[in-house]
């Protein structure tokens, strides 16, 4: 962890226009919850649609994608990453600083509105469960999207394909693919922590916990490894 890199990363992230995309998402989540409650929608249906459908399946991965690819992918795109790389700093520490910023920002940006919405629907226990599950999810997603930033030149596209095709489509059709779906880990955490029977996933708590750790560590390790052999494109390439 390197504080200077974390500081530059955070300054860069908040200074980019793309970051403004994050603002409406929490408002939408809380707003729709309020509308649902006002219309006397049943709590279980509202939780399923808003907390799961909108929060866990949409806002959490999207926020993590925007932030996770923003902390390193944007710097690679515009070439400023060279300023950090031309320093005698182990590449693993650069990645850890980037991950810390990305995961913290995504965790705060999702856990807070999820907490508020869940409290509005059912109470503090559901709120805390979703907040904690979102933090774990934000960490795993951030590591994944950070790795994509160094592994591919189109991290946002590849990340979107993962979220939409793999998690959104396949994991609802083919149960086996849920084992590698961050979305289902988050649902399992939220379910077990809240004791609620409203949500369904076939992924067990043990698998969800182990896989969250595996995805986080593997993503971080891959990103650091790839950054070690980072090449600047030459004039003829």
Partner 1 sequence: MTDLELRGVSRWYGNVVAVNDVTMTLGPGVTGLLGPNGAGKTTLLHMMAGFLAPSRGAVTIDGAPTWRNPAIYRKLGLVNEREAVYGFLTGKEFVRASAKLHGLPDADAATRRAIALVEMADAQDRRMDTYSKGMRQRMRVAAALVHDPAVLLLDEPFNGMDPRQRMHMMELLHGLGAQGRTVLFSSHILEEVEQVSGTVQVIVAGRLAASGDYRTIRRLMTHRPHVFAIRSSDDRRLAVALMASPSVAGVTLGKDGLTVHAGDYGTFTRALPRIALDQGVRVRQLIPSDESLESVFSYLVSA
Q: Which is nearer to partner 1, 1 or 7 (CB)?
A: 7
Q: How far is CA 207 from CA 53, 120, 141, 186, in A?
A: 22, 30, 16, 11
Residue with tokens 């990363």: 9
Whole-angstrom Cα distance, residue 223 to residue 147? 4
Binding flag, residue 18, partner 1 (CB under 8 A): no
Length of the chain measured in residues: 237
- Contact region for partner 1 (CB under 8 A) — 43-51, 112-120, 133-141, 226-234? 226-234
Binding flag, residue 85, partner 1 (CB under 8 A): yes
Binding flag, residue 82, partner 1 (CB under 8 A): yes
Whole-angstrom Cα distance, residue 226 to residue 237? 19
Binding flag, residue 74, partner 1 (CB under 8 A): no
Smallest gap from residue 52 Cβ to partner 1 (A): 37
- Contact region for partner 1 (CB under 8 A) — 83-91, 144-152, 159-167, 170-178? 83-91
Note whether 46 and 36 are within 8 A (CB).
yes
Binding flag, residue 7, partner 1 (CB under 8 A): yes
Binding flag, residue 235, partner 1 (CB under 8 A): yes
Member of 28, 30, 43, 89 binding partner 1 (CB under 8 A):
89
Binding flag, residue 91, partner 1 (CB under 8 A): yes
Count of residues that interact with partner 1, criterion CB under 8 A: 30
What 171-175 contacts at long range (C-beta under 8 Å, 24+ apart), as own/partner pairs, is 175/202
Binding flag, residue 20, partner 1 (CB under 8 A): no
Window 112-141: residues binding partner 1 (CB under 8 A): none
Backbone angles phi, psi at 2, to 5 degrees: -125, 115
At a CB cut-off of 8 Å and minimum separation 6, what does 96 contact?
1, 2, 220
Binding flag, residue 79, partner 1 (CB under 8 A): yes
Whole-angstrom Cα distance, residue 34 to residue 29? 9
Member of 40, 42, 173, 231 binding partner 1 (CB under 8 A):
231
- Contact region for partner 1 (CB under 8 A) — 21-29, 150-158, 196-204, 228-236? 228-236
Instruction: Give contact residues for partner 1 (rule: CB under 8 A).
Output: 2, 4-5, 7-8, 11-12, 15, 78-80, 82-91, 228-232, 234-237
């Amino acid at each position: 962890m390197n504080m200077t890199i974390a500081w530059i990363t955070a300054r860069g992230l908040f200074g980019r226009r793309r970051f403004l995309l994050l603002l409406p998402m929490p408002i939408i989540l809380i707003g729709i919850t309020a509308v649902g409650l006002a219309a006397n929608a049943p709590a279980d249906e509202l939780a399923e649609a808003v907390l799961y459908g909108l929060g866990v399946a949409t806002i959490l991965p999207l926020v993590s994608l925007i932030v996770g690819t923003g902390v390193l992918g944007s710097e690679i795109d515009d070439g400023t990453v060279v300023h950090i790389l031309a320093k005698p700093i182990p590449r693993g520490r650069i990645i850890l600083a980037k991950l810390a910023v990305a995961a913290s920002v995504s965790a705060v940006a999702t856990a807070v509105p999820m907490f508020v919405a869940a409290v509005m629907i059912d109470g503090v226990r559901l709120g805390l469960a979703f907040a904690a599950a979102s933090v774990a999810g934000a960490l795993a997603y951030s590591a994944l999207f950070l790795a994509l930033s160094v592994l591919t030149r189109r991290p946002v596209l590849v990340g979107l394909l993962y979220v939409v095709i793999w998690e959104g489509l396949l994991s609802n059709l083919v149960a086996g693919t849920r084992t590698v779906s961050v979305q289902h880990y988050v649902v399992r955490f939220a379910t077990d922590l809240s004791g609620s029977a409203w949500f369904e996933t076939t992924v067990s708590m043990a698998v969800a916990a182990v896989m969250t750790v595996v995805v986080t560590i593997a993503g971080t390790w891959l990103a650091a490894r790839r950054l070690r052999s980072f090449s600047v494109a030459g004039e003829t390439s």
